[in-house]
Amino acid sequence: MQNVSASTPMSNSPRTLLTPSFNGYPSPFRHDVLESLERIFRSSPNGQLSKRWREYHGCNYWSGLLSPLDPDLKAEIVKYGDLVQATYDAFDNKDSETRGHCIYKEQELLEKAGLSGTGYTVTKYIYATSDIHLLPKWMERSIGRSEGRHETAWIGFIAVATDAREIARLGRRDIVIVWRGTVTQCEWLEDVDGTMVQPGDSFMVDESLPSTSSSQQQKQKQQLHDGSHHHLDCEAVGVERGFLTLYTTRNGDAASTHGHLSACKQVRDELKRLMNLYKDEKDSELSITITGHSLGGALALMSAYDITEHSVVEKDVPVSVISFAAPRVGNAAFKARLEQAGVKVLRVVNTNDMVPKVPGILVHEESPLPGSSPSTQALARHDRHYSWSTYVHAGVELRLNNYFSPFLKKNVNMVGSHNLQLYLHLVDGYRSSSMPFVCVSAERHRQIKPFPSQIIGNKQHECSPHTREKIRVCMRFMKRDIALVNKESALLVDDLHVENNWHEKHIPKPSPRLSPLPPKKEPQRNHFNNFMRYLPQSHFEDISHSIFV
C-alpha cells in the first residue's frame, strides 16, 4: 500500500479513504486505522504477564480483555491451542501395531510438534478407555458385541512450565492438562450418547481392585447403562453419560497396556505428584490450566470439576479452562458447582460450528421454561426432571465467525467450521465484537454483496478485487502462518496458492502468495458508442444536414 504524506487531504479529513493503490483498484482502508491496528497487533507478541497473570488466568472472568481482545491474552490462547493441535498431529490412528498411541515419546513430543520454545516439559501421557456397553441398547445392537468391551487410546498429556524465562514471563509455574478431540470410532459413539446422569460415585471407584471383582464398579456401570435417575434430587449435578464414561472407565483386559487406570485416576495421581514436587517453591506460584478441543473441551470441564470437587489441588491454586469448540457437558447444578469451586472457563466458539450447540440442541439454557406455552407444559408433565436434565454452557464465551475472514472460502462446511486450525486462525485475526477480523467491520461486511464469480457450485474461484486487496492488507497483521489452515483441510481461497491437505500429502509447508490483479481496464463500449466517439464533429454535421434537409 502506498504511503500517504501529511500534506495530502486525508491528513485533515479522517474519513477520507485512501487513494487507489493496488493496480488501479481503490483501497477500502483508512491509513490512520491501519496504523492503529498495526500498533495493536504487533505490540507485545509474547508480553510479560507476571504483574497481571491472575487477570490473564481468568480471576475476573477475563473482564476487559476480550473485546477488544488483549494481544497478550490472544497469544496465550493460541499457545494452548497449539498444544492441543500437537495431540492430533502425534496420534496414530492408522492400522498398525501402534494404533491408538502417540507416535512420539514424552520427552520428544513438543520438539517434534515444533513447540520446544513454549518452555513446557511433558511429564505424563493420559489414556482414556471407551466402554461401548454403556451405550443405548439400540446402538449396541447396531455395532454388535463382537466389537469388544473396551478400547483404550492416548488422549492427551500433562506438562509443566520448566524454563526459567517462561516462568518469569508467566509470573508462575503453570501446569497444563491437554485433551485431544474425537478421533476413534468408539469415541464418536461416546459423543452421541447424550443421556444425562448423576456422577454419583463414578469418581470414587477403588481402582486397586480387579474390575471383574468389584461389585461396586459393576453396580455403577449398570446404573449408567440404564440411564436411570428417577430418584435423583433435582438440585443434583448432572453430566453427559458418554463424557463421564470416557473419563472414569478403566480397561480390565489383561492385554491392555495403558488402560488399567482410568483417565480420572491418571490425572489425579500426576497432579498430586507435581503439587508435592513444587509446593515448597517460594519464588513462583502454581496455576493449573486445562485445555482441549471438541471432546477434549468436554473432558477439560470434567477434569476441572473432578480435581476441585474432590480436593485434588489446594484451594489457593487457581484452575482455569480454555476450550475450543467444546460441547455442553452438564446441567445448571454442574455449572454452579464449577463457579463455587472457583474454576474459570473461557470457551472459544465459532458461530457456524454445530458442536458447541450440542447436546441439548433443542432444549438448553436459552430454551423457554416449562409453563410458558402448552407444548412446554406437556413436556414438563412428561418429564418431571425437565430443568435438571437441561444442558447449559459454563463460563464466558469468545465468539468467532469464519464468515468474516477474507482468507477463507465462503462455502465452509460443517466439518471445516469445526477445524482447530481454523479456530486458531480466527483467534489470530480477531479484534473485537464489532471487528470480528482485523480490518473487517462486521456491519460493513454484511452490506457487501458477494463477487459473482467467487462461488460457483461447490468450487471456489477467483476473489473479487475488493477481497484480494483486503487479504493483502490483512497479511500485515497476521502473526500466525496462514498456510496452517490448510494443514489438513482445503479452507483457504485458491488465490493464496496453498496446497490443500499438505500435511497428509507429506509435502513441506507452502508459503501463501496472493495472485496479482490485472491492471484495471476501461469499460468497453459498444460499436455504436465507439463510432459516435471517434466520428469528427464536421462529418456528424454533414450527415445530419443530408438527413434532415
Residues labelled as active-site residues: 294, 353, 418
Residue 503 buriedness (CB in 10 A; 0-12 / 13-18 / 19+): middle
Cell representation of residue 280: 515448597
DSSP for residue 391: B
Q: Among residues 356, 250, 236, 343, which one has the least CA distance to residue 293?
A: 356
Going by DSSP bridges, is the β-strand pair 396-400/455-456 parallel, antiparallel, or unpaired? unpaired
Cα torsion at 521, 526, 529, 532 (round to 10°)? 110
Separation of alpha carbons 294 and 155, rounded Å: 12
CA 313 to chain centroid, in Å, comes to 27
Reduced to 3 states (helix: H, G, I; strand: E, B; else coil), residue 226 is helix
Q: Residues 6 or more apart from 233 whose CB is under 8 A from it?
A: none
Reduced to 3 states (helix: H, G, I; strand: E, B; else coil), residue 403 is helix
Q: Among residues 159, 389, 160, 180, which one has the least CA distance to residue 292?
A: 180
Reduced to 3 states (helix: H, G, I; strand: E, B; else coil), residue 15 is coil
Separation of alpha carbons 510 and 489, rounded Å: 14
Separation of alpha carbons 122 and 157, rounded Å: 7
Q: Residues 6 or more apart from 217 whose CB is under 8 A from it?
A: 205, 206, 209, 211
CA 342 to chain centroid, in Å, comes to 23
Reduced to 3 states (helix: H, G, I; strand: E, B; else coil), residue 124 is strand
Cell representation of residue 316: 489457593
Q: Residues 6 or more apart from 502 whose CB is under 8 A from it?
A: 483, 486, 487, 508, 509, 510
Across the strands, what pairs with 350?
400
Separation of alpha carbons 353 and 15, rounded Å: 36
Cell representation of residue 23: 493496480
Question: What DSSP assignment string belongs to 448-504?
Answer: SPPPTTTEETTEE-PPPHHHHHHHHHHTTT--S-GGGGGSSS--B-GGG---TTTTT
Q: Among residues 314, 329, 316, which one has the least CA distance to residue 246?
A: 329
Separation of alpha carbons 161 and 120, rounded Å: 4
Give ∠ CA 151-229-392 in degrees, rounded to 5: 80
Cα torsion at 43, 46, 49, 53 (round to 10°)? 120
Q: Among residues 49, 394, 415, which one has the least CA distance to residue 240?
A: 394
